[in-house]
């Protein structure tokens, strides 16, 4: 085969990227050692005393650990599901719209929030939902009592999921729409001739046609769930909603950086990595099993 000497070229192509990752991802992983130490900044990572699993043991006696683990998973799963279904419904509705100019405008507007940071959107969202804010004023018109939305621990996770969906649904809609336009019009024509209603053709033609897109979106959202939850919650939460809104990342940030409990924070961070690994592995397996699709 002519491909014989190719491998060394392949390595060359990989070299810059791997160097980058080794320096900025793999080397800093030495920090995980802190989780097993009584970390003394004066002595550094290589000089501190090892204490085995003490911090992990303490971690599991904390109510916090259970809470943040649950919150992370709960919010993550809700986000994945909602970000799958809401854009799908919206895309289907948009697909039924016959005014093309309007369709294009709506498309362009709804995915705008996706591109804005949570630093910015967090400020806007908190303002909208404040006690005298527009949302409560609107509710007042319908005779509703003003509600302190972002102080309500039982509401908070849903507000997080809701505002995340609000930010992201437009973006995912675009992707669904592209898939929808990829479905051959001939299929709809045939269905129309057979006398199928709009809803029947939706069920039998449209939905099967975009199944793989749905899987893809799920996979894309996994990356977000593991990392991007931080920016959002960090900019929206307050101590009142720690019990339901604190996720691993925010907790680790506060504990490690603001409260100087480096060891505990690292231990919990490790836990997060494990949860992430689990999620990715599961989705890898599911995608492979159900649509015979290899994510990577």
Partner 1 sequence: MNKKNQGILLLFMVMLLIISACGNANNSPNNTGANNNVANETKNPDNPPDPFGKYEEPVTISIGMEVDPTDQSLPAGDTPSDNQYTRNVKENLNINVEHAFTASGANMPQKISLAIASDDLPDAMVVGPIELRQMVEADQLADLTEVYKNYASPTIKGIIEGTDGAALKAVTFDGKIMAIPGVQLKADGIHTMWIRQDWLDKLGLEPPKTIEDLEKVARAFVEQDPDGNGTADTIGISGPQSGDGKMYANFLESKNNLYGFDAIFSAFGAYPGFWIEGDDGKPVYGSILPETKEALIKLSEMYADGLIDPEMAVRKDSKEPVVNGKSGMFFAPWWMGYGPISDAVKNDPKANWQAYALPLNAEGKFSPHVGTPSSEFVVVRKGYEHPEAPMKMLNNLFKGESEATFDPSKGGPGFYPLRLVYAPSDETEYTVKAIREVLAGTKTPEDYADDVEYKLLASDLLAIKKVKKEPFDQMGIETWDPSADMGIWTRAYSIMIGGTPLVDTEMVDVPSLIYEQTPLMESRWVNMKKMEDEMFLKIVMGAASADSFDQFVADWKKQGGDQITQEVIDAVNQ
Partner 2 sequence: MVRDTTPGSKMFDILLIIVLVLITLTCILPLWYTLALSLSSNSAAAAGRVWLWPIDFNLKAYQQILQDSQFFNSFWISAKRVFLGAGLNLIVVAMMAYPLSRSAQQFRARNMLMWTLIFTMLFNGGLIPLYLTVKELGMLNSIWSMVLVGGAQTIVFNIILTVNFYRNLPKELDEAALVDGAGPWYTLFKIYIPLAVPVLATVTLFSIVYHWNEFLYGLIFMTREEYYPLQTYIQQLVVSVDPATMTEDQYKRMSELSNRTLDAAKIFIAMLPVLVVYPFLQRFFIHGITLGSVKE
- In the region spanning residues 102 to 131, those forming contacts with partner 1, defined by CB under 8 A, are 126, 130-131
Of residues 30, 70, 203, 285, which one binds partner 2 by CB under 8 A?
30
Contacts of partner 2 in 217-276 (CB under 8 A): 223, 226-227, 230-231, 252-253, 256-257, 262, 265-266, 269-270, 273, 276
- State in angstroms the smallest separation of the CB of 154 from partner 2: 23
Which of these ranges, 26-34, 75-83, 94-102, 163-171, lies near partner 1 under the rule CB under 8 A?
Answer: 26-34
CA dihedral 39, 44, 47, 48 (to 10 degrees): 0
Q: Which residues contact 222 (CB under 8 A, 6 or more apart)?
A: 80, 279, 280, 283
User: x/- string (CB under 8 A) for partner 2, residues 46-85?
Assistant: ----------------------------------------
106 binds, among partner 2, partner 1, none (CB under 5 to 8 A by kind): partner 2
For the bound state, the minimum distance from the C-beta of residue 264 to partner 2, rounded and expressed in Å, comes to 11
Contacts of range 57-63, beta carbons closer than 8 Å, 24 or more positions apart? 58/264, 59/264, 59/267, 59/268, 59/271
Closer residue to partner 1 (CB): 10 or 290: 10
- Count the residues in the chain: 296
Q: Which stretch binds partner 2 (CB under 8 A): 48-56, 63-71, 150-158, 177-185?
A: 177-185
* Site stretch for partner 2 (CB under 8 A), options 50-58, 62-70, 116-124, 149-157: 116-124
What is the nearest approach in angstroms of partner 1 to the Cβ of residue 219?
A: 28
Among 170, 225, 236, 251, binds partner 2 (CB under 8 A): 170
Rounded-to-integer distance, Cα 176 and Cα 90, Å: 9
**Is 144 or 260 the residue whose CB approaches partner 2 more closely?**
260
Kindly state whether residue 66 participates in binding partner 1, applying the rule CB under 8 A. Answer: no
Whole-number Cα distances in Å, 91 to 88, 110, 200, 292 = 5, 11, 17, 25
Residue with smaller CB distance to partner 1, 95 or 261:
261
264, 58 Cβ separation under 8 angstroms:
yes
Residue from the set 10, 58, 60, 203 that interacts with partner 2 by CB under 8 A:
10
C-alpha angle 253-258-261 in degrees, rounded to nearest 5 = 80
Stretch that binds partner 1, among 105-113, 204-212, 257-265, 270-278 (CB under 8 A): 257-265
Q: Whole-number minimum distance, CB 155 to partner 1, in Å?
A: 11
Q: Which spans of this chain sit near partner 1 (rule: CB under 8 A)?
A: 7-8, 11, 18-19, 22-23, 26-27, 30, 39-44, 46, 58, 61-64, 126, 130-131, 146, 148, 150-151, 153, 238-240, 242-243, 255, 257-264
């Amino acid at each position: 085969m002519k491909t014989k000497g190719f491998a060394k070229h392949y390595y060359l192509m990989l070299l810059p990227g791997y160097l980058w990752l080794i320096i900025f991802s793999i080397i800093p992983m030495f920090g995980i050692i802190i989780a097993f130490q009584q970390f003394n900044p004066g002595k550094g990572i290589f000089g501190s005393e090892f204490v085995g699993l003490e911090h992990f043991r303490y971690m599991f006696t904390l109510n916090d650990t259970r809470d943040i683990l649950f919150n992370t998973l709960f919010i993550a799963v809700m986000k994945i599901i909602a970000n799958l279904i809401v854009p799908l419904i919206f895309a289907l509705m948009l697909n039924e719209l016959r005014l093309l100019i309007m369709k294009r405008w709506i498309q362009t507007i709804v995915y705008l929030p996706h591109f804005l940071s949570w630093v910015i959107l967090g400020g806007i969202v908190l303002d909208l939902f404040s006690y005298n804010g527009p949302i409560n004023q609107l509710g007042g018109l319908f005779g509703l009592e003003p509600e302190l939305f972002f102080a309500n621990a039982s509401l908070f996770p849903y507000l997080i999921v809701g505002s995340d969906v609000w930010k992201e649904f437009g973006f995912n809609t675009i992707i669904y729409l592209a898939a929808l336009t990829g479905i051959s019009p001939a299929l709809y024509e045939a269905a129309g001739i057979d006398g199928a209603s709009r809803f029947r053709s939706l069920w039998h033609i449209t939905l099967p046609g975009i199944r793989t897109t749905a899987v893809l979106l799920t996979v894309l959202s996994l990356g977000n769930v593991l990392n991007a939850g931080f920016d959002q919650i960090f900019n929206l939460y307050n101590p009142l909603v720690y019990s339901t809104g604190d996720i691993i990342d925010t907790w680790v940030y506060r504990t490690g950086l603001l409260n100087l409990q480096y060891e505990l924070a690292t231990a919990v961070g490790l836990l997060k990595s494990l949860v992430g690994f689990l999620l990715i592995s599961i989705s890898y397996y599911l995608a492979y099993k159900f649509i015979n699709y290899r994510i990577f």
